Homo-oligomer: A and B are copies of this chain.
Amino acid sequence: MLIKLNKLIEREKIAFHKEKPDPSSLGFGKYFTDYMFVMDYEEGIGWHHPRIAPYAPLTLDPSASVFHYGQAVFEGLKAYRTEDGRVLLFRPDQNIKRLNRSCERMSMPPLDEELVLEALTQLVELEKDWVPKEKGTSLYIRPFVIATEPSLGVKASKSYTFMIVLSPVGSYYGDQMKPVRIYVEDEYVRAVNGGVGSAKTSGNYAASLQAQRKANELGYDQVLWLDAIEKKYAEEVGSMNIFFVINGEAVTPALSGSILSGVTRASAIELIRSWGIPVREEKISIDEIYSASVRGELTEVFGTGTAAVVTPVGELNIHGKTVIVGDGQIGDISKKLYETITDIQLGKVKGPFNWTVEV
């Protein structure tokens, strides 16, 4: 179905293959495969010269715009190895669409979505041997765009580079899922309406590091961000969207403009609804969450994201008060959601929505 871009995507040969890392020590984003995809943009020419090239350092002028004015957007998705050896992608079209929404917000030129999907597919196909098969492992795919114009004027860059790099990654959980402890952050904020919180842009991540460190120092795994205006409404967790199960209904913060529109979030909403469980997308105050927990109605909290799929939350620190969720155990919906999504990703079941694309 894809337009074949063999003529467009040239392929330079590597001199030798890297040794593949031990699957048990993959970690996250530490190892990279032999090849990468690269494409350039110049004002007046547009996107041009799509190519698969040996993975190699970038050479940029010290005045390149990305170093000074931060025009940089990215995506993250994974290729999964099925039991019978096929390689599947999970909803890559959604990531590519979001990449273009991020580009638009950051005044960066949009990409041809079909070409990006084709590039991504060709690159993964070429690097198929790098998709690990051990439980919980996958090949992480990182498309990104950076501004490259060598100029210190504060303005949108006139040149960009789009790249896709691949990294075999380990199981997020090790041997088994473990509920995380979350600190509800009420000093620092991540984003605000009218800002760039819904774009997957580099600056949002740099801005989050100080609060993450504070949470770690206090003994928590991650931060739950509140809205910047009233510091009252739940937004998202570190690198995940967040869901609360209250009285048998799931509720997740509405996409208000300051929240990242997660692909796993959207998938979770569709799946949970397909099981007959209501899902509400709305403003949720952290005080409501606390009250629900006091009344014994808060039965599950979990995060969703590409890295960990579904992460159960066992404990919340809300303004200094500790809330233990579901006795600190993994809830039924979290567990079923994790298993269903990973079964779809690994090709064990097809699922109701046709979400996987075979490479």
A residues at B contact (CB < 8 Å): 27-30, 32, 36, 55, 57-64, 66-72, 74, 105-107, 140, 142, 144, 146, 151-156, 163, 165, 167, 187-196, 201-210, 212-213, 228-229, 231, 238-239
Contact = CB atoms under 8 A, between A and B. Distances in A.
A231 B229 CA distance: 11
A163 B62 contact: yes
Nearest to A187: B194
Nearest to A185: B194
Given A67-B72, A192-B195, 12 more contacts: A29-B152, A30-B153, A55-B62, A57-B62, A68-B74, A70-B70, A71-B206, A106-B207, A154-B205, A188-B194, A189-B193, A201-B207
Contact of A63 (B29, B68, B189): B29
B229 A207 contact: no
A-B pairs, top 6 by smallest CB distance, nearest first, are: A203-B203, A29-B152, A70-B202, A189-B194, A70-B206, A69-B205
A163 B60 CA distance: 14
A105 B60 CA distance: 26
28 contacts: A28-B152, A29-B153, A30-B152, A30-B153, A58-B61, A59-B59, A63-B142, A63-B167, A67-B144, A69-B209, A71-B206, A106-B207, A106-B210, A107-B206, A154-B205, A154-B212, A188-B195, A189-B193, A189-B194, A190-B195, A192-B195, A194-B228, A194-B231, A195-B195, A195-B228, A203-B203, A203-B204, A228-B228
A201 B63 contact: no
A160 to B, nearest CB: 12
Given A206-B72, A207-B195, A66 B67 contact: yes
Contacts of A29: 63, 151-153
Contact of A202 (B32, B69, B74, B155): B69
B152 A70 contact: no
A72 B68 contact: yes
Contacts of A194: 187-189, 228, 231
Nearest to A213: B107
Contacts of A229: 192, 228-229
A29 to B, nearest CB: 3
A210 B105 contact: yes
A165 B36 contact: no
A307 to B, nearest CB: 9
Nearest to A38: B62
Contact of A70 (B165, B205, B212): B205
A203 B142 contact: no
Given A28-B152, A152-B140, A67 B192 contact: no
Given A228-B194, A228-B195, A206 B69 contact: yes
Nearest to A194: B189
Contact of A206 (B55, B167, B203, B238): B203
Nearest to A228: B192
Contacts of A239: 154
A105 B228 CA distance: 17
B206 A201 contact: yes
Contacts of A192: 189, 192, 195, 228-229
